[in-house]
Structure 1
Amino acid sequence: MGLIDSVQRKLAEQMQEQVIELVRSREWRAARNMSDVLLAYIATSGGSATLEDVRRNTGYDSRSQVDAYLNSPHLRELLAPSGVPPTSALSWESCSAEVDHIMGHDVMKSVKNLVADLLDYMPVLLYQGQWDAECGVGSNDAWIHTLQWHGHGGFTAARRE
Structure 2
Amino acid sequence: MVTHADNAYYIGLINERQKNELEKLQLEAVELVERKNWSEATRARNRVLDVLQNMTGLATLYDYSRKAPYEDELVAKFLNIGAVRKALGVKVDDSSVYEKCSKIVWAALYADLMKSVKHMVEKLLKEEMRVLLYQGQRDLRVGVVQVEAWVKSMKWEGIEEFVNGEREIWKVNGEVAGYVQKWKSFTNVVVLGGGHLLPSDQPLNSQVMIEDWVLEKGLFGSVLELNVSTNYVHDG
Q: TM-score, normalised by structure 2?
A: 0.57
Partner in structure 1 of residue 85 of structure 2: 73
Name the amino acid aligned to 2:104. Answer: E
Name the amino acid aligned to 2:96. Answer: L
In 2, the alpha carbon distance for the partners of 1:75 and 1:123 equals 31
Name the amino acid aligned to 1:116. Answer: E
Count of aligned pairs: 154
Partner in structure 1 of residue 147 of structure 2: 140
Deviations 1:83-119 (A, max 9, x none): xx37522344333222112211101000100112223
In 2, the alpha carbon distance for the partners of 1:65 and 1:154 equals 44
For structure 1, the residue ranges without an aligned partner over 5 or more in a row are none
In 2, the alpha carbon distance for the partners of 1:134 and 1:151 equals 27
Q: Is 2:95 the partner of 1:89?
A: yes
Partner in structure 2 of residue 47 of structure 1: 57
Name the amino acid aligned to 1:28. Answer: W
In 2, the alpha carbon distance for the partners of 1:147 and 1:92 equals 37
CA RMSD of superposed structures (Å):
2.5
RCO comparison, higher one (Cα < 8 Å, 6+): 1
Q: TM-score, normalised by structure 1?
A: 0.81
In 1, the alpha carbon distance for the partners of 2:132 and 2:77 equals 24
Deviations 1:118-156 (A, max 9, x none): 233532222322101111001101111332346545533
Higher strand share: 2
Higher helix share: 1
In 1, the alpha carbon distance for the partners of 2:137 and 2:64 equals 10
Partner in structure 1 of residue 111 of structure 2: 105
Name the amino acid aligned to 1:114. Answer: M
- Identify which range, 116-125 or 22-31, moves more after superposition: 116-125
In 1, the alpha carbon distance for the partners of 2:141 and 2:16 equals 19
Q: Is 2:137 the partner of 1:159?
A: no
Name the amino acid aligned to 2:41. Answer: A
Partner in structure 2 of residue 130 of structure 1: 137
In 2, the alpha carbon distance for the partners of 1:121 and 1:88 equals 40
Name the amino acid aligned to 1:117. Answer: K
